[in-house]
């Protein structure tokens, strides 16, 4: 029968609820739900607040109580069909007497999918696809990660104009500007995992935490992951108590991501050195590149990425640029440019 104007308005509201500030990213998707009365008025709203909390549909049903009977549930993601930390939403909607469900995005998770069939088998009218692209954007990283069965990987690098990540003597503080470093922490906060190699820990001794504009640690911290087989000094800063840390004793990017996926990690922020970056690029496991380019020339020093086995210009890796942003520096600092790129099509 198609969706109504009231359902479209409700879906836009559900998308706002799904993107509510403060909702943690991963391992679950962000979802919003609006229950509509037959006359198109809103009966109740709900949204998911993170793993272990009620799903958006359950939240809205609890707020509606008996008023849920005969309503239309407008949901940004297909109602789940499995029992995890909470029960299946498809069954909860049918049991509450909801007569119609309109959802935007089909669930890409094979474990949770199948809600529409369960609802239809219970006699509930189901419509899907309303504002689907907008819903996918709300959960872009999660959708890709679940669809590929591994975490989404963002590789971040900071380089000079001639592609150097440090000077010839190894110094790299600071290639990027204050504004770029603050922007990096904002991006770190969008991920649930920070990943570097053992060499970076030994040489740079990074903290790998997310900090605010005053350099104070934020309340929510990603998992810090060190990848590599060698033993490390337990006194390195990455092993302090500021955040949880995991040492993955492997050099295989596929194995590392498989382990992180098993731990329900959905977004890896790769900040390792040139060897680790090259390993992920050669394996085709980089989904997004964020490069901060500083207006300086070093002429010598380590490159941002090690050898990729490319011998001719025709084989060059040519990522698609999706965003170019100039980050104005503080007084006395030159602006940096942030390039956001996709190495391969998101459907690949």
Catalogue the active-site residues.
57
45 has binding-site annotation: no
275 has binding-site annotation: yes
Q: Could you tell me if 157 and 304 are in contact, meaning their C-beta atoms sit under 8 angstroms apart?
A: yes
- Residue 206: is the preceding peptide bond cis (ω within 30°)? no
323 has binding-site annotation: no
**How many angstroms separate the CA atoms of 130 and 14, rounded?**
12
Q: Cα Rg for the chain, rounded, in angstroms?
A: 23
Question: For residue 9, how many other CB atoms are within 10 A of its CB?
Answer: 15
SS3 72: strand
172 has binding-site annotation: yes
80 has binding-site annotation: yes
Residues 274, 277, 279: CA angle, nearest 5 degrees: 110
- Residue 174: is the preceding peptide bond cis (ω within 30°)? yes
Structure-token pair, residue 137: 């954007």
Question: For residue 39, how many other CB atoms are within 10 A of its CB?
Answer: 6
What does DSSP assign to residue 239? G
**How many angstroms separate the CA atoms of 334 and 104, rounded?**
44
Q: Could you tell me if 269 and 240 are in contact, meaning their C-beta atoms sit under 8 angstroms apart?
A: no
**How many angstroms separate the CA atoms of 273 and 169, rounded?**
16
250 has binding-site annotation: no
174 has binding-site annotation: yes
Q: Could you tell me if 86 and 60 are in contact, meaning their C-beta atoms sit under 8 angstroms apart?
A: no
**How many angstroms separate the CA atoms of 213 and 186, rounded?**
9
Q: Could you tell me if 248 and 128 are in contact, meaning their C-beta atoms sit under 8 angstroms apart?
A: no
142 has binding-site annotation: no
33 has binding-site annotation: no
Which of 304, 307, 306 is closest to 290 using CA atoms?
A: 304
What does DSSP assign to residue 220? S
279 has binding-site annotation: yes
158 has binding-site annotation: yes
306 has binding-site annotation: no
Q: Could you tell me if 154 and 187 are in contact, meaning their C-beta atoms sit under 8 angstroms apart?
A: yes
186 has binding-site annotation: no
**Cα 178 to chain center, whole Å?**
24
Q: Which residues are annotated as a binding site for Zn(2+)?
A: 55, 80, 89
Binding-site residue numbers for NADP(+) are: 158, 174, 200, 204, 273-279
Q: Pick out the residues of the known binding site.
A: 55, 80, 89, 158, 172, 174, 188, 200, 204, 208, 211, 271, 273-279
Binding site as annotated, residues for substrate: 172, 188, 208, 211, 271
């Amino acid at each position: 029968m198609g969706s109504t104007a009231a359902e479209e308005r409700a879906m836009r509201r559900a998308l706002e609820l799904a993107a509510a500030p403060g909702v943690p990213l991963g391992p679950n998707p962000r979802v919003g739900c609006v229950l509509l009365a037959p006359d198109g008025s809103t009966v109740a709203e709900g949204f998911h607040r993170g793993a272990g909390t009620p799903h958006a549909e359950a939240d809205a049903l609890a707020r509606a109580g008996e008023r849920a009977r005969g309503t239309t549930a407008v949901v940004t993601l297909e109602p789940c069909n499995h029992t995890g930390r909470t029960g299946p939403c498809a069954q909860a909607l049918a049991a509450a007497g909801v007569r119609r469900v309109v959802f935007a995005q089909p669930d890409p998770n094979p474990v949770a999918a199948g809600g529409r069939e369960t609802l239809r088998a219970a006699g509930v009218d189901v419509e899907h696809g309303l504002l689907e692209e907008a819903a996918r954007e709300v959960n872009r990283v999660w959708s890709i990660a679940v669809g590929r069965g591994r975490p989404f990987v963002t590789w971040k690098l900071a380089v000079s104009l001639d592609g150097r990540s440090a000077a010839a003597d190894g110094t790299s503080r600071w290639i990027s500007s204050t504004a770029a470093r603050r922007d990096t922490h904002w991006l770190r906060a969008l991920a649930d995992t920070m990943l570097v190699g053992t060499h970076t820990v030994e040489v740079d001794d990074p903290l790998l935490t997310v900090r605010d504009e005053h350099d104070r640690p934020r309340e929510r911290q990603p998992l810090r992951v060190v990848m590599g087989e060698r033993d490390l000094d337990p006194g390195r800063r990455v092993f302090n108590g500021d955040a949880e840390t995991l040492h993955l004793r492997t050099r295989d990017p596929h194995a590392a991501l498989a382990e992180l996926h098993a731990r329900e990690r959905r977004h890896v922020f790769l900040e390792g050195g040139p060897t680790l970056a090259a390993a992920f690029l050669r394996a085709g496991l980089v989904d997004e590149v964020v490069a901060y380019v500083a207006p300086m020339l070093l002429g010598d020093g380590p490159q941002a990425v090690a050898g990729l086995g490319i011998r001719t210009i025709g084989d060059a890796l040519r990522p698609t640029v999706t965003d170019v942003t100039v980050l104005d520096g503080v007084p006395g600092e030159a602006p940096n440019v942030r390039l956001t790129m996709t190495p391969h099509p998101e459907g690949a």
